[in-house]
Chain A
Amino acid sequence: GIQVEQSPPDLILQEGANSTLRCNFSDSVNNLQWFHQNPWGQLINLFYIPSGTKQNGRLSATTVATERYSLLYISSSQTTDSGVYFCAVERNRDDKIIFGKGTRLHILP
């Protein structure tokens, strides 16, 4: 099946720093989403981005479908950005969604 790899697995930054999280996938995909999992386990949808670039405040994401990767950018990090960020893909319509293992981000005050 399709493989989803995220890097880095862990990232520790000072408040105010910028960060880039990467998601590589092994085959063409129909859909791609970025999620933020807060400390209570809830998955918060950040972007639905099968291709192109989107921005929402301090967060932006770019997916280059032809090269099978997506990037999540976080600018001017805040402590509330801490948590695990997941990339998830759907290869074909109606396929089960497949998650990467996540990047654990820890923002220090």
Chain B
Amino acid sequence: DVKVTQSSRYLVKRTGEKVFLECVQDMDHENMFWYRQDPGLGLRLIYFSYDVKMKEKGDIPEGYSVSREKKERFSLILESASTNQTSMYLCASSPPLAGISDTQYFGPGTRLTVL
């Protein structure tokens, strides 16, 4: 079974703090994704990466950056957390060519609250 783990299930930070959300997958997947899920807005893509050291902006990259130094790890960084970044953050990974359905594997999510 593919396992995607996220460093924290719940996180509380203060406005202005630098926040790191870590995601690790154990299936040697090339592709990794960061989403946020918000009531009334659903799931939205923040950033994704097709390979080590590669990154691409998703729908809502503003206020975020990412790091992919190793294939198994994809980090989401909030340089200066703001209250509007309070959300559920979901990490996912997938093999390079999605030839079958449900090939995107999600982590359990991190609920971040920024005070």
Contacts and interface: CB of A to CB of B under 8 A. Distances in A.
B96 A102 contact: no
Contact of B104 (A9, A37, A90, A93): A37
B59 A42 contact: no
B74 interface: no
B2 to A, nearest CB: 13
Interface residues of A, number: 29
Main secondary structure of the interface of B (DSSP, over half): loop
B89 to A, nearest CB: 12
Interface of A: 9, 30-31, 33, 35, 37-45, 48, 83-84, 86, 88, 90, 93-94, 96-97, 99, 101-104
28 contacts: A31-B39, A35-B43, A37-B103, A37-B104, A38-B98, A40-B31, A40-B50, A40-B96, A40-B98, A41-B31, A41-B33, A41-B98, A42-B33, A42-B48, A43-B104, A45-B43, A45-B59, A48-B41, A48-B42, A83-B98, A90-B37, A90-B42, A94-B39, A94-B88, A96-B108, A96-B109, A97-B42, A104-B101
